[in-house]
Structure 1
Amino acid sequence: MTRTELRPGRLAATDVLRVGAVGLRARRARVVLSALGIAIGIATMVAVVGLSTSSRADLMARLDRLGTNLLTAEAGKDATGQEVKLPKSAVAMVERIGPVRHATATAQVDARIRRSDVVPEERTAGVTVQAARPDLLAALGAEVDRGIWLDLGRERLPVTVLGSVAAERLGITEPGEKIMMNDAYVVVVGILKPVELVPNLDRVALVGFPAAEQYLGFDGHPTTVFERSSDASVEDVRAVLARTVNPGNPGAVKVSRPSDALAAKAATDKGLTALMLGLGAVALLVGGVGVANTMVISVLERRQEIGLRRAIGATRGAIRLQFLTESLLLSALGGVAGAVLGAAATVAFARAQGWTAVVPVWSLTGGLGATLVIGVVAGLYPAIRASRLHPTVALNTS
């Protein structure tokens, strides 16, 4: 007679999920509160990554639109600390550099700006005066918001174009109004849109070089030279720009690329993203502790259920699997909710800022993966503890 060895039955995957979900359905309020901790952590991480990625994508799109081939050469100071004046022929000399496509300049003008003659002379509203060439807008990719620009005909007249911030500070809303430069009135003929690559121009009143020399005592020396060249030749032009602008004293010329400031902003955003991800990880850890606490309490409250299942043949492995599955389901519930909330927050904020919403797939999959790891870690000890309960001890109600 052959003896048949008895083996414990195995639960199917659907049965494991059903058994693991029983504890969650029985304690819904506690489950929601525990899953909330996980959801907050995941939502924070997904939103931080999504907003940072959307912001950088918008910044890179702006860089592509504005171009990264603009260089500036500014007058600095010599070894004695004295301000150095750039030659009047600086723009013409820069235009002789082979790869240069556009060259223009601005110059600081010593003049006071007031809204009217009833405003005290010392109250300048934080607006300065600069002389500008007619080709400045084309070189910088800037645009006039209202009115007209200083063309070849108007650069000799006592008229001005205001930067966007300067117009706001002076209370100018439309072209045609007058403001005072020193002791004379000039007409505002235009207001610029914000100049993203050269934001200091937003705070100035621009006049033509000839007008500045005739009405404001300007000596004609440029302060800043702007040039654009092909992308491939930017570094080559950068290497010779200072010597070209001021051959007599190239060390007193500061050469920079305005787009580097925007690129630095993107790098700063990466640092802030890392910080916020750290805060999200802390929130996720707190949520994991909440899941572990919920599972431990669940084991203590369900001792009789565990004892009954053991008494009718459930193995220790089955008990461990039940509580581990329950912990995983609880964490996954919080993870999915957090991923949805984080993605929704990213889309809503990006649209409010006018950005293209970007939610990296890796942030969603990484967040969900993190919740599963937390579910395993948080549920492992309670699951082992539940499996070690002896049926007799577990069924003892005294």
Structure 2
Amino acid sequence: MISRVRAADLLPLATISMRSRPLRAVLSTLGIAIGIAAIVGVLGITRSSQADLLARIDRLGTNLLTVVNGHTVDGEEAQLPARAATGIARTEGVQRVTATADLARVPVFRTDRIPAYRTGGIDVRATDPSLRDTLDGQVATGVFLNEATTRYPVVVLGHDAATQLGINRVDAGTRVWLGEHWFTVAGVLRPFELAPEIDRAALIGLSVAAEYFGFDGHPTRLYVRTDTARTTLVAGMLARAANPAEPNSVSVSRPSDALASRLLVADSVTSLLLGLGAIALLVGGVGIANVMVISMLERRTEIGLRRALGAARRHIAVQFLSESLLLSLLGGAAGAVLGTAATYAVATSRGWQTLVPMAGVWAGLTAAFVIGAAAGLYPAVRAARLNPTDALRTS
């Protein structure tokens, strides 16, 4: 008569060691759980972060370009022509353009009692009222410059500049000491994610910049909004449009590329962390294999007795292999739950949309199954090959 093992008996047999030594079973699955949690958590957090970043790029737009003065062939700083904005505005595909000029050595203070050398890192930039529309910016309090206020000592502060000066609201008496002159603060801007230089700047009109500080009309930075579908093509034409005589001395960039590059950095970090997760899985597999070998040596008497009572070698092998697979899958399931929980926690705290990659969960569970099978194969084969007489004699 052929000996058989019912499927209903396989689970109790496979869990004998786990039930008798629960702490060892928990510790043996810990490596698998950590590895799977790392894989699921890293993929989930990365996907959630990338989705948020892509949404921010879509919201801010990829059609903003900046044109700045570069350097001549002699290495000296070049100067943009006074009519650079006019040339750019005539370029096909350009929707809006605004010129700004950085006014060097013009300090900004809250009062006139602060020494001139303590500039605080606030820049003064001359611009016109179209800047807010070109950058798609918003005013946090007060109003932005208009055609009237650009002719008078009126200033609008960037978010960081206002914070540094201690100004969080605007009224009729709010003033700053700008370049040895009192300027009335008309408004404070919200942060510009694609133009951080505006956040730390005090903005004044072109006319008052020429009157008070001798501004010669040459811009240092231009912001250009283009037709989104033609942004790349327009970017290639802006240097010549801004300075036809010396296009090589003009630098053109797209601020959204800085945000997009963070996706590549995130991918690199993800690959590194996934590698660490894979190492944790491997260590967990070795731990399970070690536990199974010890379990096999401790249960030689049981194996010998079962063989003497008619259990076939395949039954012994299936028992130990099932135990190894069960340990690994339990660790994989615990890791998937921990990784998902970590993803939800981080995404919720950052205000991101939570994205748990099911492909990563299934890949982790599959890896746990394969590792469990590999870890249990040698102990199962060795247990099956034990001679029942030798096993009973050495017990």
- TM-score over 0.5 for the pair: yes
Range moving further from structure 2, 355-364 or 215-224: 215-224
Stretches of structure 1 that go unaligned for 5 or more consecutive residues are 1-5
The TM-score with structure 1 as length reference comes to 0.95
Secondary structure of the equivalent of 2:124? strand
Aligned to 1:43: 37
Secondary structure of the equivalent of 2:71? coil
2:92 pairs, out of 95, 98, 118, with 98
What residue identity is the alignment partner of 1:26? S
Secondary structure of the equivalent of 2:194? coil
Aligned to 1:138: 133
The 2-side partners of 1:285 and 1:166 are apart by 52
Aligned Cα root-mean-square deviation (Å): 1.5
Q: Does 1:396 align with 2:393?
A: yes
Listed one character per residue, the Cα deviations across residues 214-236 of structure 1 (whole Å, up to 9, x for unaligned) are 22222221111121222221122
Q: Does 1:301 align with 2:295?
A: no
Q: How does 1:224-303 map to 2 (within 5 A)?
A: 224-303=221-300
What residue identity is the alignment partner of 1:116? T
The 1-side partners of 2:388 and 2:116 are apart by 93
Q: Does 1:330 align with 2:314?
A: no
Q: How does 1:209-220 map to 2 (within 5 A)?
A: 209-220=206-217
The 1-side partners of 2:193 and 2:123 are apart by 18
1:205 pairs, out of 199, 202, 205, with 202
2:54 pairs, out of 50, 56, 60, with 60
The 2-side partners of 1:365 and 1:254 are apart by 48
Secondary structure of the equivalent of 1:71? strand
What residue identity is the alignment partner of 1:49? L
The 2-side partners of 1:64 and 1:173 are apart by 29
Aligned to 2:25: 31
What residue identity is the alignment partner of 1:276? L
The 2-side partners of 1:119 and 1:180 are apart by 9
The 1-side partners of 2:101 and 2:295 are apart by 75
Listed one character per residue, the Cα deviations across residues 31-82 of structure 1 (whole Å, up to 9, x for unaligned) are 1111122111111111111111111111111111111111111111111223
Stretches of structure 2 that go unaligned for 5 or more consecutive residues are none
CA displacement at 1:145 relative to structure 2: 1.7
Q: How does 1:149-188 map to 2 (within 5 A)?
A: 149-176=144-171, 177-188=174-185
Give the % identical residues: 51
The 2-side partners of 1:15 and 1:118 are apart by 89
Listed one character per residue, the Cα deviations across residues 93-144 of structure 1 (whole Å, up to 9, x for unaligned) are 2121222111112111121122322222111111111112211121112211
Change over 3 Å in CA distance of 1:14–1:206 after alignment to 2: farther
CA displacement at 1:255 relative to structure 2: 0.8
2:3 pairs, out of 3, 8, 29, with 8
Aligned to 1:3: none
Q: Does 1:375 align with 2:368?
A: no
The 2-side partners of 1:244 and 1:310 are apart by 89
